[in-house]
């Protein structure tokens, strides 16, 4: 997650073309001291590699990997173009969200953007508003974010779960290094059903809740650990959500739900979670021909993402271009984040899966060329998706 302030938002802008729009974004980064001169060239070069148009009238220009050293501080600049800017082919961008990120911080930003702006109505409203507070309220309001939820963690260590949650919170700028140091050595509190909570009195920068759930519950000091909730708190607003942890339905979601169900339950929404899971067969990228029937008329295959920096915008775009070659209906989910299935032909949905190196993507294809599609997708992933 990231926090927006009013001077990060530029409403009612005009640009003749996308180069002019990207130049304006780069200059805003320079004016704020976020990047050094030369980052513009990286942003333009990145656009030449693959279009950064996400869908819903949104583009996310950012630099190339070899211009990361020019980023002084991670940041976002939002430019609204009410009249639109032609971005690629017939795609018109009304919201241009520039990203300057050090290391892999851009992945978390991309996930947040896709979750927030995946709704067409929200994107359209932001493209027309004259009130910057609408952007600030949308981007800064969420205490519970999907990027802070880690499921199916392969560990039998409470310390590992704590470290994962603390790192997620720090990446989201919700805590600083002092919080991380203290929460790791502090005792967690069991609240029942194998759910534990921990926090730190120091280093809190904003309200946020992180969740880490192991693949299987394990014992710690003769007590079961099935999920860990780590809390960053700067005021009493977070307390309203912590009360939900005592609700049986919320606990059921924490123990058995997918990412979106956990998020909804923590926010106090009623969530029905089934404890049963389908028995699906994984297929490696090197062995696509053994794809099994997921259901009548469907084929399923699972591939491991090998890209060093996960599925950020460029490899995601390469994947989408491969998927769109086929007539079949194709859906995909991130098994390691336990997401819901989404359309594999939507760039915004695929980026929103938040896939990092080593995670597994499960594809289900239905149609006349389903087997060919899964084979082509597997070969593309195994080849590195253009990287």
pLDDT in tens, 93-116: 999 999 898 766 666 666 666 666
309 included as an active-site residue: no
Report the alpha-carbon angle 150-303-308, nearest 5.
65
- CB-facing half-sphere around the CA of 88: CA atoms within 13 A: 14
Which pLDDT belongs to residue 279?
33
Strand partners, 192: 195
3-state secondary structure of 236: coil
Report the alpha-carbon angle 261-267-271, nearest 5.
35
pLDDT in tens, the chain (387 residues): 556 788 999 999 999 999 999 999 999 999 999 999 899 999 999 898 888 888 889 999 998 888 889 999 888 999 999 999 999 878 899 999 998 987 666 666 666 666 666 667 788 888 999 998 888 777 765 678 888 899 999 999 999 999 999 999 987 778 899 999 999 999 999 988 999 999 999 999 888 999 999 999 999 888 999 999 999 998 877 877 788 888 888 999 999 999 888 988 888 777 777 654 433 334 344 434 334 445 556 899 999 999 887 887 778 888 998 999 999 999 999 888 777 788 998 887 888 787 888 889 999 999 999 999 999 999 999 999 987
> From CA 324, how far away is CA 136, in angstroms rounded?
35
Among the listed residues 163, 158, 166, 160, the one whose alpha carbon sits nearest the alpha carbon of residue 189 = 158
Strand partners, 343: 331
Task: For residue 308, give every residue at least 6 positions away whose Cβ sits within 8 Å of its Cβ, in sequence order, or none.
Answer: 357, 387
220 included as an active-site residue: no
In the numeric block, which tokens belong to residue 243?
């009360």
Helix (H) or strand (E) holding 227: strand 227-232
Is the backbone of residue 338 left (phi > 0), alpha (psi -120 to 50) or beta?
Answer: left
Radius of gyration of the chain (CA): 21
> Do 227 and 254 contact (CB within 8 A), yes or no?
yes
Report the alpha-carbon angle 146-147-150, nearest 5.
90
Phi, psi of 147 (to 5 degrees): -70, -15
Alpha helices, DSSP H only, in 16-141?
18-31, 39-49, 105-117, 120-128, 132-140
Q: Which of 62, 115, 220, 309 is catalytic?
A: 62
Alpha helices, DSSP H only, in the chain?
18-31, 39-49, 105-117, 120-128, 132-140, 158-171, 177-185, 237-242, 248-256, 259-266, 313-323, 347-351, 370-382
Question: How are beta strands 208-214 and 227-232 bridged, if at all?
Answer: antiparallel
> Do 229 and 195 contact (CB within 8 A), yes or no?
yes
In the numeric block, which tokens belong to residue 271?
């969530």
> From CA 283, how far away is CA 41, in angstroms rounded?
40
Query: Using the 8-state DSSP alphabet, how is residue 37 labeled?
Result: T
CB atoms within 10 A of CB 173: 17
Sole residue written with tokens 């009493």: 236
3-state secondary structure of 284: coil
Among the listed residues 32, 260, 8, the one whose alpha carbon sits nearest the alpha carbon of residue 145 = 260
> From CA 348, how far away is CA 329, in angstroms rounded?
17
Q: Which of 69, 106, 309, 312 is catalytic?
A: 312
């Amino acid at each position: 997650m990231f926090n927006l302030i009013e001077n990060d938002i530029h409403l009612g802008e005009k640009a003749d073309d996308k180069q002019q729009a990207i130049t304006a974004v780069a200059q805003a980064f320079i004016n704020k001291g976020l990047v050094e001169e030369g980052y513009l060239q990286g942003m333009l070069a990145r656009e030449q590699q693959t279009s950064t148009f996400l869908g819903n009238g949104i583009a996310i220009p950012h630099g190339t990997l070899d211009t990361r050293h020019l980023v002084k501080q991670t940041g976002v600049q939002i430019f609204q173009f009410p009249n639109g800017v032609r971005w690629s082919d017939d795609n018109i961008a009304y919201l241009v969200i520039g990203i300057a990120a050090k290391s892999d911080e851009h992945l978390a930003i991309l996930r947040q953007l896709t979750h927030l702006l995946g709704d067409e109505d929200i994107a359209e409203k932001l493209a027309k508003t004259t009130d910057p507070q609408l952007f600030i309220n949308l981007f800064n309001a969420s205490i519970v974010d999907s990027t802070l939820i880690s499921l199916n963690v392969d560990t039998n260590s409470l310390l590992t779960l704590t470290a994962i949650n603390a790192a997620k919170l720090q990446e989201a700028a919700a805590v600083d290094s002092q919080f991380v140091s203290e929460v790791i050595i502090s005792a967690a509190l069991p609240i029942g059903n194998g759910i534990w909570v921990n926090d730190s009195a120091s280093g809190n920068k904003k309200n946020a809740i992180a969740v880490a759930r192991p693949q299987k519950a394990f014992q710690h000091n003769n007590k079961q650990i099935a999920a860990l909730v780590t809390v960053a708190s700067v005021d009493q607003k977070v307390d309203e959500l912590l009360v939900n942890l005592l609700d049986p339905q919320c606990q059921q979601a924490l123990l058995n739900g997918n990412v979106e169900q956990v998020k909804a339950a923590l926010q106090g929404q009623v969530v029905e979670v089934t404890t049963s899971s389908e028995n699906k067969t994984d297929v490696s990228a090197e062995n696509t021909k053994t794809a099994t029937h997921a259901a009548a008329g469907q084929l399923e295959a699972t591939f491991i993402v090998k890209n060093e920096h996960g599925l950020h915008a460029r490899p995601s775009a390469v994947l989408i271009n491969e998927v769109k070659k086929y007539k079949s209906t194709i859906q995909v989910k991130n098994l390691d984040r336990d997401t819901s299935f989404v359309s594999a032909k939507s760039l915004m949905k695929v980026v929103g899966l938040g896939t990092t190196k080593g995670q597994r993507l499960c594809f289900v294809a239905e149609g006349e060329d389903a087997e060919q599609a899964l084979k082509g997708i597997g070969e593309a992933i195994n080849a590195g998706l253009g990287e």
